[in-house]
Amino acid sequence: MSDRLPSIEGRASWVAACVTLAILSISYGSPLLIVVGLKPIQEALGTDRSVIALAGSLVWVGTGIGGIPMGWLADRIGIRAVVAIGALMIALGLAISTIGGTAPLYLGHGLLIGLIGNGAVYAPLLIYISRWFDRRRGTAIALISSGQYIAGVFWPSVFERGIAAFGWQTTMLAFAAVTVICILPMVLLLRPVPKPISAGPAVVAGRDRSVLGLRPNLVQALICVAVFCCCIPMAIPSSHIVAYCSDIGISPVRGAAMLSVLLGCAFISRQFWGAMADRLGGLRTVMAGSACQAAAIGAFLITQNEAGLFVIAGIYGLGFSGIIPSYAVAIRDLFPSAEASWRIPALLFTGMSGMAVGSWLAGWIFDYFGTYAPAFATGVLFNLLNLVVIGFLVIRLPRRQAPALAPA
């Protein structure tokens, strides 16, 4: 898109993006508590690892489902109110999870941290920021989505030390307080979105409109199938790497550091993938990132050496990090802005459902085989299926031309 065309972007756009990044850097810490504390929580509750992993999966399912009504609600009562509700529910969910037993853990994580908590934070904020940008939308979405990785770099080591010193329940309660104290003041900095400026031909709405020569909802369905298949393998290292390291004799401290390396590399490379999406379009960027993810997750099968795993974790982070933001960019590339409030949350729901399945499935496979190798192999297979679906859509894109961004 030419910089000479009218644009809604300005200093206020980047202020909104930075505030959103800060909020997500805190809210995304909540799902990491159960990742870092997987073994201690399992031992405290005296149950299988897959049972505890399911609580982490419910966070992703709840976040995905919750994003659909919360995206709609944010358009009606405002982004400030919805995000404030989400922060309070995350804190309440963490508190309830400390009661003990699997039922409070599932209720706290699935309903409160996931459905009403992060469901009211991530999808509404992603839609909010996508409407602040029309030239550098991919870069902006990549930036705010990096809140997950900032959380992944900072919080795992804090949580590991907190759990070792004070126990997992006290650590959850402390983070609940951090969530409320930090997020609620930042919500006040979220300003209303400016009115859109038409910056080129708008996407034609209506029943007869086609997308890539197909019916619009068919394209949406194919993209949702693709994101589900790529999020299953995406969840396996990020949800189980600390427990995996412990199983093969690497200390939990080093395992948490490995998770931080993975997510730190993801944060750095996500900015590259965002700029790539601005130049090439969302779908092409998804395909490139998915191919990198498939190669990296396969590499977990070839070594159990600590140094080698640190290298593979870093490469994996560099490869997979741009996939989810690029899917959101693809939705905005292909569909009108007015449809973003339900199409993006529907996309995120299927993606987070894939994350949930991947997290739980890896735990179940470990319980059955006593090793994570079959789980990594399963992840490679799902990743290849994703590449088939995305490849079908990419070959239908206009040659030598990235899709024109729909107006903000």
The confidence score (pLDDT) of residue 116 equals 94
Beta bridge partners of 211: 214
Q: Is the pLDDT of residue 85 over 80?
A: yes
Percentage of the chain lying above the pLDDT 70 cut: 93
> Which residues of 322-402 form beta strands (DSSP E)?
none
69-83, 107-121, 291-305: least confident range: 291-305
175-227, pLDDT tens digit by residue? Answer: 999 999 999 999 999 998 887 665 444 444 444 578 888 999 999 999 999 99
Q: Is the pLDDT of residue 136 over 90?
A: no
Three-state DSSP class for residue 317:
helix
The two three-digit tokens of residue 15, written as one number: 């202020």
Compute φ and ψ for 9, nearest 5 degrees.
Answer: -70, 145
Q: Is the pLDDT of residue 332 over 90?
A: no
The confidence score (pLDDT) of residue 200 equals 41
Q: 375: closest CA among 209, 238, 217?
A: 238
The confidence score (pLDDT) of residue 341 equals 80
46-61, pLDDT tens digit by residue? Answer: 888 778 888 887 888 8
Q: What is the pTM of this model?
A: 0.75
The two three-digit tokens of residue 123, written as one number: 């999808």
Q: Alpha-carbon distance 92 to 386, whole Å?
A: 36
The confidence score (pLDDT) of residue 179 equals 96
Length of the chain as a residue count: 408
Q: Enter the DSSP assignment of 214.
A: B
**Per-residue confidence at 24, pLDDT binned at 50, 70, 90?**
very high
Classify 11-196+208-394 by CATH class: mainly alpha
Q: Is the pLDDT of residue 360 over 70?
A: yes
388-406, pLDDT tens digit by residue? Answer: 999 999 999 887 544 444 4
The confidence score (pLDDT) of residue 216 equals 93
Q: Enter the DSSP assignment of 200.
A: S
Q: Alpha helices, DSSP H only, in 78-167? A: 79-97, 102-106, 122-130, 137-145, 147-166
339-351, pLDDT tens digit by residue? Answer: 888 898 899 889 8
Q: Domain ranges in the chain?
A: 11-196+208-394
Beta bridge partners of 214: 211
Output the average pLDDT for the chain. 86
111-120, 127-136, 179-188: least confident range: 127-136
The residues, any chain, with a CB within 8 Å of residue 340's CB and separated by 6 or more, are: 127, 130, 131, 331, 332
| Cα four-point dihedral sign 156, 232, 65, 265 | positive
The two three-digit tokens of residue 302, written as one number: 């070839």
Q: Mean pLDDT throughout 121-139?
A: 88
Q: Alpha-carbon distance 286 to 137, whole Å?
A: 15
Q: What is the largest CA-CA distance in the chain?
A: 63
CB 241 within 8 A of CB 261: no
The two three-digit tokens of residue 34, written as one number: 């159960």
**Per-residue confidence at 321, pLDDT binned at 50, 70, 90?**
confident
CB 37 within 8 A of CB 135: no
The confidence score (pLDDT) of residue 403 equals 45
Q: Alpha helices, DSSP H only, in 110-251? A: 122-130, 137-145, 147-166, 168-187, 216-247
CB 35 within 8 A of CB 259: yes
Three-state DSSP class for residue 211:
strand
